[in-house]
């Protein structure tokens, strides 16, 4: 990942989209920048790259849910627009983790929690608490959660 702060990369991307007259990309980026600024105003401080990444992850999750809802309702044109926005948002997330890396992280977290003598439902929370910072932005945490549940059940 580059050493340029994420907020700077976002504002540069907004400028590039303006120059390219790419209205759809510009709209998505402006919405994202507004969400970041709103969070900064609410908390009265500058956000770190990790916090900006968390905002982007939240936006990605919202787009995924919207796409599913629009496709289910037969609104394919709107779903396609949301898919395009999702693509723009993903550009600013860290590179996705490989399935092997996710499996290894889950196995390590499960071993750590098992060593603490925790099992059952409380183990799920502890495992996810370990995995969240390790895989933030690199993996769909809903999918990771499903994998952990499957492993705990077996």
Q: Which residues contact 153 (CB under 8 A, 6 or more apart)?
A: none
Alpha helices in 21-75 (DSSP H): 23-43, 49-72
Q: Which of 57-66, 77-86, 109-118 has the lowest mean pLDDT?
A: 109-118
Structural domains of the chain, count: 2
Average pLDDT, the chain: 90
Q: Are residues 104 and 135 in the same domain?
A: yes
Q: pLDDT category, 16, cuts 50, 70, 90? A: very high
Tell me if the pTM is above 0.85: no
Determine contact, residues 95/38, Cβ cutoff 8 Å. Answer: no
1 in any annotated domain:
no
Looking at residue 141, its pLDDT comes to: 83
pLDDT in tens, 40-74: 999 999 999 889 988 998 999 899 999 999 999 99
Is residue 1 predicted with pLDDT exceeding 70? Answer: no
- HEC readout, 66-122: HHHHHHHCCCHHHHHHHHHHHHHHHCCCCCCCCHHHHHHHHHHHHHHHHHCCCCCHH
Tokens of 141: 């945490």
Q: At what angle do helices 23-43 and 6-20 cross, to 10 degrees?
A: 150
Q: Are residues 77 and 141 in the same domain?
A: no
> Percent of the chain at pLDDT above 90?
62
CATH code, domain carrying 116: 1.10.10
- 74/51 Cα distance (integer angstroms): 35
Is residue 23 predicted with pLDDT exceeding 60? Answer: yes
Determine contact, residues 17/26, Cβ cutoff 8 Å. Answer: yes
Is residue 101 predicted with pLDDT exceeding 50? Answer: yes
31 in any annotated domain:
yes
């Amino acid at each position: 990942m580059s050493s340029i702060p994420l907020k700077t990369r976002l504002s540069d991307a907004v400028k590039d989209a303006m120059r390219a007259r790419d209205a759809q990309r510009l709209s998505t980026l402006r919405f994202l920048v507004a969400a970041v600024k709103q969070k900064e105003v609410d908390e009265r401080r500058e956000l770190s790259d990790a916090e900006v990444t968390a905002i982007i992850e939240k936006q990605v999750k919202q787009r995924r849910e919207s796409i599913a809802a629009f496709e289910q309702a037969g609104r394919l044109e709107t779903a396609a627009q949301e898919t395009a926005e999702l693509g723009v948002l993903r550009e600013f997330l860290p590179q996705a983790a490989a399935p092997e890396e996710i499996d290894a992280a889950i196995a390590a977290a499960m071993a750590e929690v098992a060593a603490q003598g925790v099992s059952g439902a409380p183990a799920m929370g502890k495992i996810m608490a370990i995995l969240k910072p390790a895989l933030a932005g690199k993996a769909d945490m809903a999918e990771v959660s499903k994998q952990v549940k499957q492993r705990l059940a077996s």
